[in-house]
Chain A
Amino acid sequence: MLGGHLDEYGTYSTAQISAAIPYLYGINAGNTINDMANSKLIVMFGCNILETRQSGGGLSYELFEARKKGNARIIMVDPRYSDSMAKLGDEWVPIRPGSDGALIAAIAYVLMNEGLVDQQFVDTHCLGFDEEHMPEGVPAGNSYRAYIMGEGPDKTVKTPQWAETITGYPAEKIIRLAREIGSTKPCCVIQGWGPQRHANGDTISRSIAMLAILTGNVGIAGGGSGSAESVSQIGFPRMPEGTNPVKTRISFYTWVNAIDDYTQVTAKKMGLRNKEKLDHGIKFLWNSSGNALINQHSDINGTRKILEDESKCECIVVVENRMTASAKFADILLPSVTPLEQDDIIQQGYQVDQSSLLIARKAIEPLFETRSQYDICAALSEKIGKLLGQSDLATKYTEGRSQLDWVKHLYAQARAKKPELPESFDEASKIGLFKWFPMPQKVAFKAFRDDPAANPLKTPSGKIEIFSKRLWDLNQAWELPEGDAIYAIPVHEKTWEGPCDYEGMKKHPFQLIGHHYKGRAHSSYANIPWLEQVAPQQLWMNEADAAQRGIRHDDMVKVFNDRGAVVVRVKVTPRIMPGVLSLPQGAWYTPDKNGVDQGGCINTLTKTHMTPLAKGNPQHTNLVDVVKI
C-alpha cells in the first residue's frame, strides 16, 4: 500500500531443492505419501518423516499406514539412525553428510554397466543422458553418461570403489544396493529437506532424483520423481496480501548481505531477480514471529556484528511473545499475542490423506499490552496515514474489518468451496475442526510419463533435462566465488567443509549436521521445561569417537570451529556415523560473557556461504572439533 517492498524468493527449508529440481522437471513435485502403498521398494534419502512431520499433519501416520498396506521394503540413507529408521527402516545405509552425489553416481555406474537403466524411458523422456541426446551448443563429453564413465572433463570413472572412500559405505554394498534399486519396480525414491540443505544441495537434490529417472520410476504409481513428497490440499482462501508493484527479489538468504554491503547484491553475484543491482541497502528490518535474525540464520557471531552496526541497519523492530535471541536484537520490541489470545482460521499443515480447516477462537483476551500482528499493523496504518496525509490508509488496510471479521469473511469464502460447512459461523466455531478424507493419491508427472509429446514438461525442451542448458549458461554468466560452480548435470559436487575437505579436516575433523528434532518445531517451544525434560538438547556423537576422546554419555562438551563455540550435553550413541556429529537445530542461542553459546545453537558454528545456484543456506555443511569440558 505504501508503494511496494523488496521481495524475496526461497526459504530456509527448501532453498536448493526448490531452485534446482525445476531445472530437471520444470516444477518441483513428487508423489503423495499415500501412493507408497503401491511401492515394492522405498529408498529414502535424509527423509525423517516420523520426527519432522509428527504434529499437526499426520504424514507420519500416513507413511506408516501406506507401508502397512503395501508392505514395501524400506531403505534409509542417512548419516543418522533416525526414529523413522527405527520404526520403519529395514536397512540403514549410512553415508557421510554431503556425499549422496557420490553414492548415486556409483549406483548409476552399476545400473549402466549391468543394463539396469530403463533405456527406453531415458531415450524418449529425457535430455542429456548420453552424447546422442544432448542439446545444441554444448561441447562433447558433457553428458551424464560421459560423467559417470570418466569420459568427461574430470576423467574419473564413478565406480563403487571411487565412491566408497567418499561415502564411507563399502563398494560391494553399493553394488548390492544398485542392483536392488535397479531390479525392483515400482521403486519410490524420495528425499527429505536435509540432503539439499548442504553446500552442494543444488546438485544433491538433482542426484537423488536421477535414481528415479534412471530406473524409469517417474510418473508411475508407487514410483516417484525422486524429489520430496507433494501434499494434497483443498486450498482455502487466505488473507489478501495486496499486489506488490516492486518486482525485485533477493534470495531470502541474502538479507544480511543487503544490510552489510548492498552493492554486492547483484543479479550476477547473488542471484538478484528482475534487477541488475540494488539501489540501496536494507535500513529498516521488521521481524514478525521469526527467529532467523539471530538463531536460525547462519554464522551467528558474524551476523550479529553486522546487525550491531547501527550505521548499516538503523532500526530493527521485532514482534514476539517470547524473549528469543532475535528479540534481543530489537531496537523496538512489540509484544505479540500467542495463538490462544487471538481468533484465527487455519488450514491444514503437511497432510496427504486428509485436508482440514480449523476455526481457532481465542481462549482468553490478550494479556497485558500484547496485540496481534493484524491489530499492530492496523494501528500503524492509521498513524502512517495521518503522517502521509492519506486519511483512508487505515480503511484500505482493514477494509473495515476487525481480525474476527476477517476470520468470518474467510470462513464464508471457505464455505463457497465446501458448501457442506455450517452456514452459521458460531456453529462452526463450536465444532472448530473440519476434516475431509481421503484425499486423492497424486502421481507427479503422470501425464508427461504417459504421453510426453502431448504433455511436455515446463522445461525448454519439454523433457526431463538431465543436462540443463540453462544451468550450463548460468555457470558462464554468473560471477561465482573461487571453488563454487553451477553444474549442468547432477554430479558429486566437492565443496568447502564437505566430506572431501581433507585439508579442513586436519584442523576440525568432524562433519557437523543439525537434524530437526522432535522436541520442538525449529526454535519454537525450545524453552518449555517439560519438553526439555523428555527431549533434551544433546550433541549426537558416535560411541567409538567418544571413547577415543574420553567422552561419556551425558558429559558436557564444547563443540567449536573458527566461527564460534557451543557448550552442550552429549548423547553418545551408535546411531550416528563415526566422524559425524549432529547438533539438533533450533536450540536458543545463549552466549555467556565470553561469547560461548551455552544454549546449544548450531548456527553459532555454521557458515554464511550461499549455494551457487539457489543462493541459499548450506547449514548442514560444517567442520568442527569437540572436546570434553
Chain B
Amino acid sequence: MVACIDGHDLPQGVMWRRVAEYTGGKWVRRANGTYDQNVFSYYTSVSCNHCQNPVCVKVCPTTAMHKDEQGIVSVDPDKCVGCRYCEWNCPYSAPQYNKQSGRMTKCDFCKDRLAAGLKPLCVEACPMRAIHFGEYEDLKKQFGDAVHVAPLPEQSVTSPCLVITPPHNAQPVGSNMGSIRNPEEM
C-alpha cells in the first residue's frame, strides 16, 4: 500500500491498493479459567483487478473509465466528472475519489513504469514477494486457477483478472465465519 501511495504521491484517504484483514473465530472459557479458541485470520491485498467485465467501465456516464488495448482499466481525467458512480459499484473498492482534483483515480497497473520496462511499485515493494503480475492466462498457468476466497466477491460478478493462491485458513466467498476487521486501514 505504502509503496503505491509514495510512488504516485497519493493524498491521504486515496488508496489504490488495500489490504483487508479477514478474521473470525471464538473464545470459549472453561470453568477452570482456561480457554479454547478457533481463531483464524488472513490478509487479502487488492488494487484493481482490471476485470474482463468491468462494472466501473459499464456504469461510467462519461466514458472516462475505460479499458485499453493492454486490458488496463484506467480513468481519463480529462473526461471524469467526479460523480463517484464507479466507486458505488466496484466490488473491490478500486476507484478512489481524489478530493483535491475532484476526479476518480485508481490503480492503473503502473502503466508508465511498464512502458519503461519496470515492474509495478507494489510488485517490487512486497517483502514476501507475494505480488506477481503478467498476462492473466500466464498467471493462471503459473499459479493455478483457484477459486477466490472471502472477503472477495464471486468471480462471476466482474470476471476479475486476479489469480490468488489461497492461504491455508481461507474461507469461501460469502462466508459468514469471519469479517473484515481493519476497515479503518482501508
Contacts and interface: CB of A to CB of B under 8 A. Distances in A.
Judged by CB atoms under 8 Å, the answer to whether A and B touch is yes
B70 interface: no
Given A61-B129, A81-B41, A573-B181, A531 B36 contact: no
B35 A529 contact: no
Given A61-B127, A534-B1, A164 B185 contact: no
B71 interface: no
Interface in B49-108: none
Contacts of B144: none
A54 interface: yes
B174 interface: no
A114 to B, nearest CB: 21
A168 B127 contact: no
Interface in B103-118: none
Interface residues of B, number: 36
Interface in A555-613: 569, 571, 573-575, 577-578
A509 interface: no
B43 interface: yes
A54 B39 contact: no
Nearest to A531: B2
Contacts of B24: 574
Contacts of B135: none
A530 B39 contact: no
Contacts of A535: 185
A60 B23 contact: no
Nearest to B10: A530
A273 B43 CA distance: 48
Interface in B143-186: 167-169, 181-185
A87 interface: yes
Interface string A159-171: 0000011011111
A111 B39 CA distance: 28
B59 to A, nearest CB: 28
A55 to B, nearest CB: 7
B34 interface: yes
A575 B30 contact: no
Interface string A176-190: 000000000000000
A94 B39 CA distance: 11
A536 interface: yes
A596 to B, nearest CB: 22
Contact of B30 (A60, A167, A170): A170
B122 interface: no
B185 A533 contact: yes
A171 B35 CA distance: 10
Which one of B34, B43, B168 has the greatest number of beta carbons of chain A within 10 Å? B34
Contact of B37 (A60, A83, A90, A574): A574
Given A60-B127, A534-B2, A92 B39 contact: yes
Interface residues of A, number: 41
Given A81-B41, A534-B185, A58 B127 contact: yes
Contacts of A332: none
B12 A534 contact: no
B185 A536 contact: yes
B34 A530 contact: no
B12 A530 contact: yes
A265 B25 CA distance: 50
Contacts, number: 90
Nearest to B186: A534
Contact of A168 (B26, B34, B41): B34
Interface string A361-395: 00000000000000000000000000000000000
Given A54-B127, A87-B167, A542-B27, A94 B35 contact: yes
Interface in A15-65: 50, 54-55, 58, 60-61, 64
A87 B169 CA distance: 9
Given A61-B128, A542-B27, A577 B35 contact: yes
B39 A81 contact: yes
B43 A86 contact: yes
B29 interface: yes
A86 B2 contact: no
Contacts of A533: 5, 12-13, 15, 185
Contacts of A54: 127
A446 interface: no
Given A60-B128, A170-B30, A170-B36, A530 B5 contact: yes
B165 to A, nearest CB: 12
Contacts of B35: 94, 168-170, 577-578
B184 to A, nearest CB: 6
Interface string A516-544: 00000000000001110111100000111
Contacts of A508: none
A554 interface: yes
Nearest to B169: A86
A54 B39 CA distance: 24
A86 B33 contact: no
A536 B34 contact: no
A520 B1 CA distance: 14
Given A530-B6, A530-B12, A544-B27, A574 B167 contact: no
B175 to A, nearest CB: 15
B19 interface: yes
A569 B183 CA distance: 13
B32 interface: yes
Contacts of B25: 574
A615 B1 CA distance: 41
Contacts of A269: none
Contact of B2 (A60, A87, A530, A553): A530
Contacts of A83: 43
Given A60-B128, A573-B181, A164 B23 contact: no
Interface of A: 50, 54-55, 58, 60-61, 64, 81, 83, 85-87, 90, 92, 94, 164-165, 167-171, 529-531, 533-536, 542-544, 553-554, 569, 571, 573-575, 577-578
Given A90-B168, A530-B12, 16 more contacts: A61-B127, A83-B43, A85-B41, A86-B41, A92-B39, A164-B34, A533-B15, A534-B1, A536-B185, A542-B27, A543-B27, A553-B181, A574-B23, A574-B24, A574-B39, A575-B41
When A and B form their complex, which 8 residue pairs have the shortest distance between CB atoms, in order from nearest?
A: A170-B34, A54-B127, A86-B41, A574-B39, A534-B1, A164-B34, A574-B25, A530-B5
24 contacts: A61-B127, A61-B128, A86-B41, A87-B42, A87-B167, A90-B168, A92-B37, A94-B37, A165-B32, A165-B34, A168-B34, A169-B35, A170-B36, A171-B34, A530-B2, A530-B6, A533-B185, A534-B1, A573-B23, A573-B181, A574-B24, A574-B25, A574-B26, A575-B41
